[in-house]
Amino acid sequence: MAQQNLFIGSLAYATTDDTLKAFFEQIGEVESARVITDRDSGRSKGFGFVEFKSESDNQKAVDQLDGKELDGRAISVGLARPKEDRPPRRDFGGNNDRGGNSDRGGSSFRQRSW
């Protein structure tokens, strides 16, 4: 079975993987700590994940660090949901029939006939 991760929310934009790891090492040995960043800008999205070497440290971290301050912000600490429990991503690709004529593929662009 996969190791349970912790979800860390309300992170400061200045928080890095290293500062996140160092903060959680007060509870126990950290296997990995990752701040999630925007693919395009590289800027932090304000949340991350921590995985302890010992899964028994997860509840200790939730109990002791939830609401504590890291880099000037009160963080939220909780158990991460497994990937299969998340709702499916919504597709906003624009390939639908709303707002246009279906004979033109649902596009709101008018075709010129010159």
Q: What is the pLDDT of residues 1-26, one digit of tens each?
A: 567 899 999 999 999 999 999 999 99
Would you tell me how many other CB atoms lie within 10 Å of the CB of residue 25? 14
Q: Domain spanning 6-82 has what CATH number?
A: 3.30.70.330
113 pLDDT tier (thresholds 50, 70, 90)? confident
Q: CA 47, CA 76: separation in Å to the nearest integer?
A: 9
Structural tokens at position 47: 């949340």
The model's pLDDT over 23-57, given as tens digits with 9 standing for 90+, comes to 999 999 999 999 999 999 999 999 999 999 999 99
Q: From the CB of residue 27, how many other CB atoms can be counted at a distance below 10 Å?
A: 21
| Verdict on whether the full-model pTM lies above 0.75 | no
